[in-house]
Amino acid sequence: MNTESLREEVCATAEERPGVYRWLGRDGRILYVGKSVRLRSRLLSYFREETGKTARLVAEATSVRWDHAPNEFAALFREMHLIRAWQPEYNVQHRRDRRYGFIKITREPAPRLVPVTRVHNDGARYYGPFGQTQWLARAVHELSLATGLRDCSSDTPIHFGDQFEMFPGGRTPRCIRAETGTCPAPCAGRCTAAEYNSRLRVARAFLETRSRRPLEELSDLLKRATKRLDFEYAARLHDRMETLERLRDHLSGFRGQIEHLNLVYPVPGFGGDDRVYLIRRGTMWGEMPWPKSDAARRRASEVVEGAFRPALADRDATLEADAAAEVLLTLSWFNKRPDERRRALTPGKWLAASRESVA
């Protein structure tokens, strides 16, 4: 289909309402995904561009498809999920999480703490997000030192002390950290798997803000260094403690933000298609039509009670890939729209209002 035919199709069938659109190439691949509050006007604007990225996109496209949405909030989430699923070549937003960093606990025989800029569906544990990725790399290094986790490369062979050795005789550690006592050297069989995992549990508890043990141990080391007048070592310990305090404060603060994102969010929709979105710890748990009768209100309250019933998973501070993307999007939406945040209700307030309305 040529450009003029595409334009005529948009003129004839697209509506002036919220929606998500997709530009497709000759082989059916998705070139670009976008959303708009006024879908028809947005699509027609593409045909007015004569140069640049937009003009190249329209020239390469063979078709354009769209789905109408009840409101901008729904369109925004739909756009994000399509971009993450298809990774269109003309998209930049949602494709790379360059502005944010995460701490990853790798899935390896001797797991490591690694600073990363993307969250993958690889079964690993992620903590974050963090806005300053350069500082994060230093914080991860300091936490690895404080907890005794290795920070060598992923291809380092691991040989725990309780593994069977065909040719016993000892192995040589791969780095100097084994000699300085900041790594238990699982590369050289100097610790068992259980001993290493014990250190890993300390790091996890710290990242989940359930424990201050690394800071307490550093404080003891600092006191002993000061007592023996080793001020240079004491200064390094003090800097390490400051970095880890900052790391813990950030994790605690962000987790607090997530805990406050348990919301029942009513949103007016196009043509009276009003919706209620259930946001649990910053992620989209579900949606339902706005209840317009007492019976519908009672059914909606049952759904809300089920959605926000406390669960063990709520105490887990890790983020999976899709959850991380949704949390960041939800935070951005409400931070830019304080009036919308004030209109959203806590589950308790929604349920109380529901009981009053049907009484």
Cβ-contact 37, 18 below 8 angstroms: yes
The confidence band for 269, taking pLDDT boundaries of 50, 70 and 90, is very high
Give the residue extent of every domain in the chain: 3-86, 101-164+173-258, 260-358
Tally of CB atoms within 10 A around 120: 11
Q: What angle do CA 139, 184, 109 make, to 5 degrees?
A: 85
- pLDDT, one tens digit per residue, over 125-183 is 899 888 777 899 999 999 999 999 999 999 999 989 887 665 455 678 878 898 888 89
- pLDDT, one tens digit per residue, over 239-267 is 999 999 999 999 988 777 787 899 999 99
Cβ-contact 104, 324 below 8 angstroms: no
Query: What integer pLDDT is reported at residue 97 of this predicted model?
Result: 44
Report pTM.
Answer: 0.75
Q: What is the dotted CATH code of the domain comprising 3-86?
A: 3.40.1440.10
Query: What integer pLDDT is reported at residue 98 of this predicted model?
Result: 46
Share the mean pLDDT of the chain. Answer: 89
Query: What integer pLDDT is reported at residue 133 of this predicted model?
Result: 77
Q: Work out the average pLDDT over 115-120.
A: 86
- pLDDT, one tens digit per residue, over 282-335 is 999 999 999 999 999 999 999 999 999 875 445 556 777 678 788 889 988 999
Query: What integer pLDDT is reported at residue 283 of this predicted model?
Result: 92
| 123 vs 334 pLDDT, higher one | 334
CB crowding 243-267: b at 16 or more within 10 Å, else e: bbeebbebbeebeeebeebbbbbbb
* Separation between Cα atoms, residue 20 and residue 39, nearest integer Å: 8
Q: Work out the average pLDDT over 207-220.
A: 95
- pLDDT, one tens digit per residue, over 56-110 is 999 999 999 999 999 999 999 999 999 988 989 998 755 544 467 899 999 999 9
